[in-house]
């Protein structure tokens, strides 16, 4: 795909803090109008990467272009062409809704001739029409997040970075927020989003998984669930669950075991071969198995499998 089709182009991006490598030779491309999910556990390098892509942190080496501008050579141009929203509510709680919108319009240098129409557009988009004079601090969490998004896109940037934007927001408000994200994407805005909610990751066109600064998986949600699992997945229903979990964590051939609802998920090399072995293993310990079967992995299963397997390998090397 020609470079002009990309909103973000990253090649061998590195960020070091002394001897610590926070981002390690990261390579990725984000297409225009794409909802791109950036996943990883705490400390994986997500926020450091976003800070570099927003022109707030200079890379140690490598290359990154955002909205056609080099983040190291022209960070100010990058910042003028993006919107950014963090997981922590960043607006002024003691101001009215309209006052926050006017303040951010000034910060983003929205032309005075466009000011009223942009504010009206942001209010409409965020479903806050008629709420202009409410004090921002009194708004429910979901309303605050919609207002923050409206402020972040007042200047209509071609790309917006959202760093865990729905953290602490109830499920209904999260769904409404994602409806807004997809509306913007349909209008050609590129959305680069980090999240810890695996159900939200399903809403993305493509996902990248980063672990200890390195890219470990890239693809659509369907591709990752189909191709990225390190082994096969078994669902186990048995009693008592806690004792079964404790036993299976050290069972031969089980690379990971975790509780999912009222059942266990086990990662094994070969599900067909493992089923009778697991049944016998639990029976030998007086644990009754009511159900055991191979299942398709969820994104959460893939996430845990990829990060756990790499963590074990790196510990073994050390």
Structure tokens at 86: 């963090």
- Percent of the chain exceeding pLDDT 70 equals 94
Residue 314 has pLDDT above 60, yes or no: no
Looking up residue 263, the CATH number of its domain turns out to be 3.30.70.100
Averaged pLDDT for residues 41-55? 92
Q: What is the rounded end-to-end Cα distance, in angstroms, of the chain?
A: 40
**309 domain-assigned:** no
Identify the bridge partners of residue 209 per DSSP, sorted by sequence position: 39, 217
Radius of gyration, CA atoms only, the chain? 23
3-state SS, residue 6:
strand
Residue pair 8/14 in contact (Cβ under 8 Å)? The answer is no
Give rounded-to-5 percent helix, strand, coil for the chain. 40, 30, 30
pLDDT the model gives residue 90: 76
**304 domain-assigned:** no
pLDDT the model gives residue 2: 46
- Cα–Cα distance, 107 to 83 (Å, whole number): 12
Residue 229 has pLDDT above 50, yes or no: yes
Domain-terminating residue out of 182, 203, 225: 225
The band of 1, judged by pLDDT with boundaries at 50, 70 and 90, is very low
**306 domain-assigned:** no
Match 């760093």 to its residue by tokens.
163
Q: Which residue has the higher pLDDT, 195 or 112?
A: 112
Domain-terminating residue out of 209, 225, 241: 225
Residue 212 has pLDDT above 50, yes or no: yes
pLDDT the model gives residue 34: 96
Co-location of 213 and 240 in the same domain: no
The band of 310, judged by pLDDT with boundaries at 50, 70 and 90, is low
Domain-terminating residue out of 203, 225, 247: 225
pLDDT the model gives residue 89: 64
Peptide bond into 116 cis (omega under 30): no
Co-location of 83 and 115 in the same domain: yes
Match 């909610």 to its residue by tokens.
197
Co-location of 207 and 240 in the same domain: no
Co-location of 201 and 249 in the same domain: no
Co-location of 154 and 237 in the same domain: no
163-172, 259-268, 295-304: which has the minimum mean pLDDT? 163-172
* Torsion region of 69: left, alpha or beta (phi above 0 gives left; psi -120 to 50 gives alpha): beta
**116 domain-assigned:** yes
Co-location of 92 and 194 in the same domain: yes
Co-location of 104 and 239 in the same domain: no
Each residue's pLDDT tens digit, 19-36: 999 999 999 999 999 999
Read off φ and ψ for residue 190, nearest 5 degrees.
Answer: -85, 130
pLDDT the model gives residue 4: 64
Residue 199 has pLDDT above 50, yes or no: yes
- Cα–Cα distance, 172 to 298 (Å, whole number): 22
To 5 degrees, how large is the angle CA 287–CA 290–CA 293?
Answer: 110
The band of 16, judged by pLDDT with boundaries at 50, 70 and 90, is very high
pLDDT the model gives residue 311: 55
Co-location of 194 and 286 in the same domain: no
Q: Which residue has the higher pLDDT, 140 or 101?
A: 101
Please tell me the total count of domains within the chain: 2
Match 């590195």 to its residue by tokens.
14
Give the DSSP per-residue string, 19-33. Answer: TEEEEEEEEEEEETT
**125 domain-assigned:** yes
pLDDT the model gives residue 161: 95
Residue pair 174/166 in contact (Cβ under 8 Å)? The answer is yes
CB atoms within 10 A of CB 127: 16
Residue 312 has pLDDT above 80, yes or no: no
Co-location of 60 and 79 in the same domain: yes
Looking up residue 163, the CATH number of its domain turns out to be 3.40.50.300
Q: Which residue has the higher pLDDT, 164 or 246?
A: 246
Co-location of 11 and 131 in the same domain: yes
Averaged pLDDT for residues 98-125? 92
- Percent of the chain exceeding pLDDT 90 equals 58
CB atoms within 10 A of CB 210: 25
- Cα–Cα distance, 204 to 34 (Å, whole number): 8
3-state SS, residue 260:
strand
According to DSSP, the β-strands at 82-85 and 159-163 are parallel
3-state SS, residue 247:
helix
Co-location of 128 and 41 in the same domain: yes
Residue range(s) defining the domain that contains residue 259: 230-296
Averaged pLDDT for residues 177-199? 89
Q: Which residue has the higher pLDDT, 183 or 228?
A: 183
**276 domain-assigned:** yes
**315 domain-assigned:** no
According to DSSP, the β-strands at 6-17 and 61-66 are antiparallel
Residue 254 has pLDDT above 80, yes or no: yes
Co-location of 174 and 253 in the same domain: no
3-state SS, residue 120:
helix
Task: Catalogue the long-range contacts made by 262-265 (C-beta closer than 8 Å, 24 or more residues apart).
Answer: 262/237, 263/235, 263/236, 263/237, 263/291, 264/235, 264/236, 264/237, 264/238, 265/233, 265/234, 265/235, 265/236, 265/295, 265/301
**318 domain-assigned:** no
């Amino acid at each position: 795909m020609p470079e002009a089709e990309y909103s973000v182009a990253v090649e061998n991006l590195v960020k070091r803090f002394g001897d610590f490598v926070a981002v390690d030779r990261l390579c990725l491309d984000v297409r225009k109008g794409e909802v791109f999910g950036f996943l990883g556990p705490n400390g994986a390098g997500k926020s450091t990467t976003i800070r570099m892509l927003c022109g707030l942190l200079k890379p140690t080496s490598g290359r990154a272009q955002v909205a056609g501008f080099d983040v190291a050579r022209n960070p100010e141009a990058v910042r003028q062409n993006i919107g950014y929203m963090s997981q922590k509510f960043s607006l002024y709680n003691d101001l009215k809704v309209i006052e926050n919108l006017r303040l951010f319009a000034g910060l983003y240098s929205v032309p005075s001739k466009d000011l009223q129409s942009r504010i009206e557009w942001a209010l409409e988009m965020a479903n806050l029409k008629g709420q202009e004079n409410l004090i921002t601090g009194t708004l429910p969490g979901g309303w605050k997040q919609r207002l923050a998004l409206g402020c972040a896109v007042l200047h209509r940037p071609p790309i917006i970075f959202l760093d865990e934007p729905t953290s602490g927001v109830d499920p209904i408000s999260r769904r409404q927020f994602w409806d807004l994200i997809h509306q913007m994407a349909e209008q050609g805005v590129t959305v680069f989003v980090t999240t810890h909610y695996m159900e939200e990751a399903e809403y993305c066109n493509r996902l990248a998984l980063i672990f200890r600064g390195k890219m470990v998986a890239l693809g659509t949600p369907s591709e990752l669930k189909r191709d990225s699992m390190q082994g096969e997945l078994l669902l186990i229903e048995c009693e008592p669950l806690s004792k079964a979990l404790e036993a299976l964590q050290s069972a031969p051939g089980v690379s990971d075991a975790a509780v999912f609802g009222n059942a266990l998920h086990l990662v094994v090399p070969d599900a067909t071969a493992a089923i009778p072995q697991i049944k016998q293993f639990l029976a030998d310990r007086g644990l009754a198995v009511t159900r055991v079967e191979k299942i398709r992995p969820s994104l959460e299963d893939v996430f845990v499998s990829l990060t756990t397997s790499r963590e074990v390998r790196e510990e073994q090397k050390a």
